[in-house]
Structure 1
Amino acid sequence: MSTKNVLGTELVPCSYDPLTGYFRDGCCNTDASDAGSHLVCVRVTREFLAFSASRGNDLSTPQPAYRFAGLEPGHRWCLCANRWREALEAGMAPPVILESTHSKALEFVTLAQLEKHRFQGALH
């Protein structure tokens, strides 16, 4: 059985460079051990990275111990659904790649909210 995205079609990989996902498989896949619910594939912006750092989650600084090189504007990343919702409420939500956002994200936000912030560029 294939994993579905928020559009009801097969989940498309989010990013291999940087390698993202809870399982670091390039996709916003999840299971019961994923307490953060890394479900929303986003294209990070400078504003979002500053917002996330202000909330105690610095995604820009490299963390070699975790094989994490740090994110830069334009990178795609599987973001925790609650963090995306928090950014949305603060007016800082980064653009979403719907085809790569796991269907379980709809347990945290609505499809309409995600669609309003849909990334308009090329998928890859």
Structure 2
Amino acid sequence: MSATDDGQSGSPALDDPTPYQEVQRSPEFVALRKRWRRFIFTMSAIFLTWFMLYVVLADFATGFMNTRIGGTNLTIGLVFGLLQFVSTFVIATIYVWFADKNLDPEAERLRLRVEEKL
């Protein structure tokens, strides 16, 4: 006989959310995810815009990108290319700072709440 045949809505194990599901449904978790997503999407958009600027300039402004800096073999295009690496490390550093300040304290509180219920 199935659970629906005897009038029951299902097994208790399926009806009772796990501590992880409870936290996932909490307003604190939803706010944390929203804060994380806002940061990630913003930084991704900034980086992709910067990268696309580099690609477009390299393709359509070759004269500008081939401009030598200070009479050396260093060109604006080479500097822009190297700045792609720098911007990656800057974004990683900004993320660590942002997470330490805005994400990790709340994530720690949520982790402790789950561990109390386990």
Superposed pair shares fold, TM > 0.5: no
TM-score using structure 2 length: 0.18
**Structure with greater helix share of residues:** 2
Larger radius of gyration: 2
TM-score using structure 1 length: 0.18
**Structure with greater strand share of residues:** 1
